[in-house]
């Protein structure tokens, strides 16, 4: 059960103290407090954990400071959608809004290699009106002898160039707790010219200690990729680890499943789960067509498989696209064969726009059908 308090209810107020005293007397129930400070108001939620089935929603709604009550199911308690749940399905970070009703493209380098390539990439993004990108500084690899990223050494010039070209959010994978501190330090040293969305990759989806650590920090939002060898339910519960520690600003990414049933693609494309994740949770949903397909193969119609797969996710309602581009794919240190070229950026963005408009048209049609009176 979630108690949503009246806006701007502070923990040092008399109403809150009365509420805590009441909750402390409830047997076999403990509570956890979560606060979010928005641009206009403070929002406080109190999560009741334990045997809440016997608690009356009406009685709890009449407690001091309580605005409304949401009775939740066992699954996805914090991030899930529940009956009568009017909590937001979006969040804002560094001036960019991420929600289940909009779409952002994060085109960029899977792995940073040179400052020159980073600048060329970001300059092109600005020319195309983009404010988000992906940049890989830390790269977990299956082969221990493969390039694993420049690490913290590249962070200062990546962040400075992002500020120079108006990039507001960089999706950046981390593999260790220390990487969060390194990113924070580099941002401070460069004057906070941009923002970072911490990406937890598919190999760390069930690294529970990393999830809890990242969940306890509130500075950065999180992009959590689905584990490539586990069920959707297990991956969504990994997102709950983040949220249960306090960080609710989570985007869930679909990136394909490791099975030869997806051949000749690298992974089996799982973008049919876009509407499923949006129905079960309040998280925006990202798709990663580059790592799902893993190549630049082109269909007879002239479109790349990556474009077809991206369109499948967008027309199903995806809210974010993580896609590999590179100024010179032949010189890329990671996943060069699947990277799109900057000459293809305009075409890719136009193609995404077409798919997005088709999705919005479908939503309008669905609304008309639902409003149409039934006869019989």
d(Cα 253, Cα 167) in Å, to the nearest integer?
21
pLDDT at 314 over 90: yes
* Domains, in order of start, for the chain: 2-71 (3.30.70), 92-365 (3.20.20.70)
If you average pLDDT over every residue of the chain, what do you get?
92
In which band, very low, low, confident or very high, does the pLDDT at 82 lie, cut at 50, 70 and 90?
Answer: confident
Write the DSSP symbol of residue 40.
S
pLDDT for position 87: 79
pLDDT at 374 over 70: no
If you average pLDDT over each of 41-50, 226-235, 318-327, which comes out highest? Answer: 318-327
pLDDT at 84 over 80: no
Host H or E run for residue 108: strand 104-108
- % residues pLDDT > 90 (the chain): 71
Give the mean pLDDT of 170-195: 98
- Upstream peptide bond of 264 is cis (omega within 30 degrees of 0): yes
Give the mean pLDDT of 330-357: 94
Q: Poorest-confidence range of 26-35, 59-68, 225-234, 274-283? A: 26-35
All residues at 6 or more sequence positions from 373 whose CB lies less than 8 Å from its CB, including other chains: none
CB distance 339 to 332 below 8 Å:
yes
| DSSP code per residue over 166-188 | T--EEEEEE-SHHHHHHHHHHHH
- Residue 337, judged by CB atoms within 10 A of its CB (0-12, 13-18, 19+), counts as exposed
pLDDT for position 79: 87
pTM of the model: 0.85
d(Cα 172, Cα 138) in Å, to the nearest integer?
8
pLDDT for position 51: 80
pLDDT for position 177: 96
C-alpha distances (whole Å) from 88 to each of 98, 114, 196, 268, 272 are 11, 40, 22, 31, 23
| DSSP code per residue over 129-177 | T--EEEB-SS---SSTTS----GGGGHHHHHHHHHHTT--EEEEEE-SH
Give the mean pLDDT of 273-299: 95
**Nearest Cα to Cα of residue 285 among 310, 309, 318:** 318
């Amino acid at each position: 059960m979630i108690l949503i308090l009246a806006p701007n209810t502070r923990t040092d107020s008399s109403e809150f103290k009365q509420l805590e005293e009441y909750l402390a007397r409830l047997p076999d129930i403990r509570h956890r407090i979560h606060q979010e400070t928005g641009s206009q108001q403070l929002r406080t939620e109190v999560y009741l954990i334990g045997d809440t089935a016997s608690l009356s929603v009406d009685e709890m709604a009449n407690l001091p400071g309580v605005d409304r009550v949401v009775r939740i199911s066992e699954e996805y308690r914090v991030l899930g959608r529940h009956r009568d749940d009017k909590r937001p399905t979006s969040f804002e970070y560094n001036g960019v809004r991420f929600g289940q009703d909009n779409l952002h493209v994060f085109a960029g380098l899977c792995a940073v290699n040179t400052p020159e390539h980073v600048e060329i990439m970001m300059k092109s993004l600005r020319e195309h009106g983009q404010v988000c990108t992906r940049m890989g500084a830390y790269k977990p690899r299956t082969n221990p002898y493969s390039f694993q990223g420049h690490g913290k050494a590249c962070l200062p010039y990546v962040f400075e160039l992002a500020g120079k070209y108006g990039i507001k959010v960089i999706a950046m994978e981390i593999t260790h707790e220390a990487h969060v501190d390194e990113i924070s330090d580099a941002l401070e040293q460069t004057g906070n010219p941009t923002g970072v969305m911490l990406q937890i990759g598919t190999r760390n989806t069930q690294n529970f200690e990393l999830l809890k650590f990242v969940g306890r920090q509130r500075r950065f939002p999180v992009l959590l990729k689905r584990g490539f060898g586990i069920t959707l339910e297990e991956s969504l519960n990994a997102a709950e680890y983040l949220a249960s520690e306090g960080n609710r600003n989570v985007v869930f990414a679909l990136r394909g499943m490791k099975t030869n049933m997806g051949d000749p693609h690298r992974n089996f494309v799982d973008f049919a789960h876009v509407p499923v994740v949006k129905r079960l949770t309040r998280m925006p949903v990202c798709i990663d067509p580059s790592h799902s397909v893993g190549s630049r193969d082109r269909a007879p119609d002239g479109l790349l498989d990556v474009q077809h797969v991206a369109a499948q996710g967008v027309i199903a309602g995806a809210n974010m696209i993580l896609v590999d581009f590179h100024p010179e794919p032949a010189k890329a240190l990671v996943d060069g064969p699947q990277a799109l070229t900057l000459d293809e950026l305009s075409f890719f963005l136009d193609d995404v726009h077409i798919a997005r408009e088709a999705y919005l048209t479908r939503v309008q049609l669905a609304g008309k059908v639902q409003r149409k009176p039934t006869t019989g």
